[in-house]
Structure 1
């Protein structure tokens, strides 16, 4: 006998308007629920279960395993390690909370708050994840490095504002463009300027940004469910594909940062 009765799931047209953001996902919507009922939805099939677990499981793995691979005691600036660790956690925990409680009885107000939290998590991985890249790329230019760090933090605050006030997936994706261009300028500085860093990390960072951009694009275009409405309601839809690509992007961020942290231990800036 089941410990509790699963609720009757809803079709797209029966779900509240603020949850009707993907017209190609036709079934499997949870009814409006209390916090406890939202938590119980972890244990039965619905169209948000894949979104919860594709970020929930990586969050737990990152939380437990990443500290063992970060050289906390071997880096002079410990804040770099802290920033990187938090960067890897931020997007997944915000996403899990959003997808788990999005059908809360608090309605659109709670939904908008959770969506903003999710967007802040995405902005924070861009912000905190890039701080070690900025620091190491401009290692030999302390004054420029401080200015660049401050500029990127201010730019990220603007991105958070844009992402949390946007009303469509396209506008949310566009909010991260300036952050991406800033990081790209650092990559160019490593290749064509006098920026420094591990010879092996740049390729990993480029793959990181490419995966994140492709994931966001897939989510905006809503493929593959656009071509077969209803077929990908529970598994394999665009948002889940984006989740997987985001997790892969975080892994490449971690690998690239670890390459840089290993490299910095033996590097000395040339004398003036």
Structure 2
């Protein structure tokens, strides 16, 4: 008796499922007219080969798809792992291309934490991009980094032109002083590599970054003080272009203050998202200070060539 009740309950449950699948109308048709179809459904379920009649039965669809895919792969002797890996790579490449072609600027709150550097710039931020080509293409779009990119890019091009100008001039014998200068240059490269560390860009290290920039700009104070002590301050002003070096230092300090204090966007939140933000002003002042420095050392070199040589012979400088 229990087996009969169980069988009836099973048929009743399956009957409910059949009603959902076939759109059964109890007023138009009787349960007896569907018993043959019900038996077919039960037989299919017992054989492990369900045939879902509606897309809403997602579990059965997934099971059926998995069985078909597995059978096809095994019959063709294809590595399922390699197939899945290739499919994942193709999907990733497709998503990357779509993202590169369609990314939009976003609000500050949608940026990852390591890019949330200035909360006074509200809109127009460039999101993280997945490739170098996408980053390069973003140079020509308008976002919060556009001014920062171009103020440094134009300055870089200008100094490349200055370097080409000097490198194409007649070569002279390289002295020890030049080796010292190049040594300092490579020490500067090491500091640049450190500045590329991702943790160095975190918002909480903004004062440290501003301090590093100020140290870079004020590094010329050390040789200026040395010259003033050995040759006198009047000679330093009249012969060593101290005024230009002082102006350079003031410009560096002013730029670092703009950067650290985040002015003017601090006073006008959301109004300087694209242009006239502190980072752009900082870049402009740094480029101007660099050319002021270049002008000052050019006057030093001119004085060295036209008036007299250094009183300290080169042989005293050695490693």
TM band (smaller chain): 0.5 to 0.7
Tell whether 2:218 aligns with 1:186. Answer: no
Corresponding residue for 1:259?
299
Q: Is the 8 A contact 1:72 1:78 kept in 2?
A: no
| Structure 1 SS opposite 2:210 | helix
State the distance in 2 between where 1:55 and 1:10 align.
Answer: 23
TM-score under structure 1 normalisation? 0.61
Check whether the contact 2:147–2:274 (CA below 8 A) recurs between aligned residues: yes
Question: Cα distance 1:217–1:225, how it changes in 2: closer, same or farther (>3 A)?
Answer: same
Deviation at 1:20, TM superposition (A): 0.5
Q: Does 1:56 align with 2:153?
A: yes
Whole-angstrom CA distance in 2 between matches of 1:71 and 1:79 = 21
Q: Give unpaired runs (5+ residues) of structure 2.
A: 1-99, 314-319
**Which residue pairs with 2:144 in the alignment?**
47
- The residue aligned with 1:149 is none
1:77: Cα distance to partner? 4.6
Measure, in 2, the Cα distance between the counterparts of 1:258 and 1:19: 39
| TM-score normalised according to structure 2 size | 0.53
Match of 1:212 in 2: 252
CA RMSD in angstroms comes to 3.8
- 2:305 aligned with 1:268: no
Report the Cα distance in structure 2 between the residues aligned to 1:241 and 1:172, rounded to whole angstroms. 16
Q: CA 1:64/1:73 → structure 2, altered by over 3 Å: closer, same or farther?
A: same
Higher Cα Rg: structure 1 or 2? 2
Partners of 2:213 and 2:256 within 8 A in 1: no
Q: Does 1:23 align with 2:60?
A: no
Instruction: List runs of 5+ in structure 1 lacking aligned partners.
Output: 87-123, 132-152
Task: Give per-residue Cα distances to partners, 1:108-145, cap 9 Å, x unaligned.
Answer: xxxxxxxxxxxxxxxx9xx54xx9xxxxxxxxxxxxxx
Q: Which has the higher contact order (CA 8 A, sep 6+)?
A: 1
Q: CA deviation at 1:172?
A: 2.1
* Pairwise CA distance, 1:49: 0.7
Aligned length: 205
Compared CA separation, residues 46 and 79, structure 1 to 2 (3 A) = farther
5 Å-filtered alignment, 1:26-105, equals 26-35=122-131, 36-68=133-165, 73=170, 77=174
How has the CA–CA distance of structure 1 residues 160 and 187 changed in structure 2, closer, same or farther, with 3 Å as cutoff? farther
Q: What's the CA shift for 1:162?
A: 8.8
Q: Does 1:229 pair with 2:269? A: yes
